[in-house]
Amino acid sequence: MLKIGVFGLNRGLDYAKDFMHLDCEIVAVCENRENVVNAALKVLPTDVKVYNNFDEFIEHDMDAVVLANFFHEHTPYAIRCFEKGLHVFSECMAASTMAECVELLRGFEKYKDRGSIYMLAENYPKMKFNREMKRVVEGGTLGKILYAEGEYNHPGRPNYAEGLQEYTYFDKHWRSYLPRTYYLTHSLGPIMWLTGATPKRVSAFATFNPPSDDVAAPSHNADKVASMLMQNDDGSVFRIVGCSAFGARHDSYRVCGTKGQIENLRGMGEQVMLRYSPWYVPEGMKENNLYTPYFEDSENDFVRKSGHGGGDYFTAKCFLDAIKENRQPEFPFDVYSGVTMAVISILAHRSVLENGAPYDIPDLKNEDERKKWENDNLSPFHYSDGRTPTIPCCSHPDYKPSEKNMELYHKLLLEELEIATDKSHLR
Per-residue pLDDT of the chain (427 residues; tens, 9 = 90+): 999 999 999 999 999 999 999 999 999 999 999 999 999 999 999 999 999 999 999 999 999 999 999 999 999 999 999 999 999 999 989 999 999 999 999 999 999 999 999 999 999 999 999 999 999 999 999 999 999 999 999 999 999 998 998 899 999 999 999 999 999 999 999 999 999 999 999 999 999 999 999 999 999 999 999 999 999 999 999 999 999 999 999 999 999 999 999 999 999 999 999 999 999 999 999 999 999 999 988 778 788 778 787 889 999 999 999 999 999 999 999 999 999 999 999 999 999 999 999 999 999 999 999 999 999 999 999 999 999 999 999 999 999 999 999 999 999 998 755 444 333 332 3
130-300+335-427 folds as Dihydrodipicolinate Reductase; domain 2 (3.30.360)
Residue (of 139, 93, 91) closest to 380 by Cα position: 93
In 68-219, DSSP assigns E strands to 87-90, 118-120, 145-153, 199-208
**What's the one-letter identity of residue 99?**
A
CA distances from residue 217 to 104, 158, 160, 222 in whole angstroms, order as listed: 33, 8, 10, 9
Burial class (CB in 10 A: 0-12, 13-18, 19+), 396: middle
- Provide the pLDDT for residue 112: 96
Residues of the chain with CATH 3.40.50.720: 3-120
C-alpha–C-alpha distance, residues 270 and 294, integer Å: 10
In 304-425, DSSP assigns E strands to 359-360
What global pTM score does this model have? 0.95
- Provide the pLDDT for residue 310: 85
Q: Which three-class secondary structure state does DSSP give residue 319? A: helix
Question: Within 13 Å and on the Cβ side, how many CA atoms surround 8?
Answer: 19
H helices then E strands: how many in the chain?
13, 15
- Provide the pLDDT for residue 307: 76
3-120 domain in CATH 3.40.50.720? Answer: yes
Element (H, E) at 228: strand 223-232
Residue (of 51, 43, 52) closest to 20 by Cα position: 43
Residue (of 82, 123, 71) closest to 104 by Cα position: 82
Query: How many beta carbons lie within 10 A of that of residue 138, not counting itself?
Result: 11
C-alpha–C-alpha distance, residues 68 and 66, integer Å: 6
Q: Would strands 145-153 and 250-257 be described as parallel, antiparallel, or unpaired?
A: antiparallel
Give yes or no for a contact between 71 and 47, defined as CB atoms under 8 angstroms apart: no
